[in-house]
Amino acid sequence: MDGYDDSTYGDAFADVYDEWYDGISDIDATTATLIDLAGRGPVLELGVGTGRLAVPLATAGRECGLVVRGLDTSSAMLERLARRDPGGLVDGRRGNMTGPLPSGPYSLVFVAYNTLFNLTTAELQAECFHAVAGALTADGRFVVEAFVPDHARERSTDVSVRSLAADRVVLSVSVQDPAHQLAEGQFVEFTEAGGVRLRPWSIRYADPAELDSMASEAGLTVEHRWATFARDAFDDDASRHVTVYRRR
């Protein structure tokens, strides 16, 4: 998408992220599993955003002294994180998932809910795996949560209504390009008071096998693969996966 860069998504969605995406995943199950995987820490979340996961994780891990850091390319997202976390439980840093990462080493690095796909080329995604591998402890883990692409899907476009109110309409306009594993679009928001606001997004998606190959090239191997953070079994019908990679 012309004009789209690393911070575009965060800057466009920071003011509505908590409203629009509240409840998209099971925070309690996610937090419990991450704490179990983290051991003594420290922990780093890539694409920390407003702290939807990092703040509950830091709160739950406070009794055992778990240190939680968060990385994001968007200053607007990090400002929202600071508002959510006035006590500073999460150490939010500005930076890119491809590195350099905040100095570790980390017992756990995680990237949740498709955020890895915000890196819009395979090369950038592979760079992320290498950066994480270099920041882990000897027995450290990298957790990736993402959807499982439908390879049977054909190129398509969609225009639909996301929300409708007396003073506000939000349209969703998107293009799916399976041949290049790309999906991108705009949320077009019309408000009586504010006029028109565009909120662009763009992702490059990959299936678990491709991610496993990237991990292997970076010196990581699959330890677990679940369908959810509640550790439901992963099978051919699963629409999402939570994969735990570990250093060889």
Over pLDDT 70: what percentage of the chain? 100
Over pLDDT 90: what percentage of the chain? 88
Report the distance separating Cα 133 and Cα 141, nearest Å: 9
> What are the strands, taking DSSP E only, across the chain?
43-46, 68-72, 90-94, 106-111, 136-147, 156-165, 168-177, 182-191, 195-204, 220-226, 240-247
Express each pLDDT in 39-57 by its tens digit: 988 999 999 999 999 999 9
Specify the pLDDT at position 64.
86
Express each pLDDT in 118-137 by its tens digit: 999 999 999 999 999 999 99
Residue with tokens 């027995």: 139
Q: Which one is the CATH code of 156-203: 2.40.50.320, 2.20.25.570, 2.40.420.20, 3.40.960.10?
A: 2.20.25.570
For the domain 8-148+206-247, what is the CATH code? Answer: 3.40.50.150
Phi, psi angles (nearest 5°) of residue 96:
-110, 145
pLDDT of 4 > 90? The answer is no
* Residue 239 CB burial class (10 angstroms; 0-12, 13-18, ≥19): exposed
| Equal fold, 8-148+206-247 vs 156-203 | no
> Both tokens of residue 167?
């003073």
**pLDDT band with cut points at 50, 70 and 90 for residue 151:** confident
Q: Where do the domains of the chain lie?
A: 8-148+206-247, 156-203
Express each pLDDT in 5-16 by its tens digit: 888 999 999 999
pTM of the model: 0.94
